[in-house]
Amino acid sequence: MKFFVDTADIDAIAELNETGMVDGVTTNPSLILKSGRDILEVTREICAMVDGPVSAEVVATEADAMISEGRKLAEIAENIAVKVPLTWAGLKTCKTLTSEGKMVNVTLCFSANQALLAAKAGATFISPFVGRLDDVNIDGMDLIGEIRTIYDNFNFQTEILVASIRTVNHVTQSALIGADVITAPPNVLKKLADHPLTENGLAAFMADWAKTGQKIL
């Protein structure tokens, strides 16, 4: 399973990228706002840092404008995945841009039927938002399972990119179901390494090592 980092924070991306844990990056208008940077400038910088897909989102709501914005974003770098919302205008944009050889990430997916439409439109990635479903008392991971089954039934090549990841359990469950990609904030990705038994074991080893009076260097 691939790990995308969900941020426009250059320093956070660079830190995780050094460990080999960044297979791609996802951004959205809210993350661009949080970065305080120009969208074209910061996206270009991210694309130069990361080898994998970098999702940059259109902000228009009508298809013709979405297509124009998508083409503009795709000019930033070869690894841009144009991000469009799962609306009819977004699906039309997806079909047009994928026909031109561009990667497209269809976002804000909340149902299996929506995911089916995105695959039919040729989406490179479908982004179901599990955390937001959990917020309204719907198990977001059930949706991931439904999409996995549908895509496998019909051999769709669209990759399932699990978004709105809130906890490390979302990552575990996504992997068990067979999602292709997860995208998570840097703090969630870092928490994947945490375990109290690891911390306790390391503390015990260090205490015993101190008693030996030895040094490696």
Rounded Cα–Cα distance for residues 55 and 95 (Å): 17
Residue 55: exposure state from Cβ atoms within 10 A (0-12, 13-18, ≥19)? buried
At residue 195, φ and ψ (nearest 5 deg) are: -160, 135
**Contact residues for 58 (Cβ-Cβ < 8 A; gap 6+):** 65, 66, 69, 70, 73, 82, 83, 84, 93
191 counts as catalytic: no
Rounded Cα–Cα distance for residues 149 and 144 (Å): 9
Sequence-distant contacts of 133-141: CB under 8 A, at least 24 apart: 133/164, 134/166, 140/164, 140/170, 141/170, 141/173, 141/174, 141/177
Catalytic-role residue among 2, 83, 191, 215? 83
Rounded Cα–Cα distance for residues 156 and 115 (Å): 11
User: In sequence order, what DSSP letters do the residues of 135-148 get, joined into one string?
Assistant: HTT--HHHHHHHHH
Question: What amino acid positions are annotated as catalytic residues?
Answer: 83
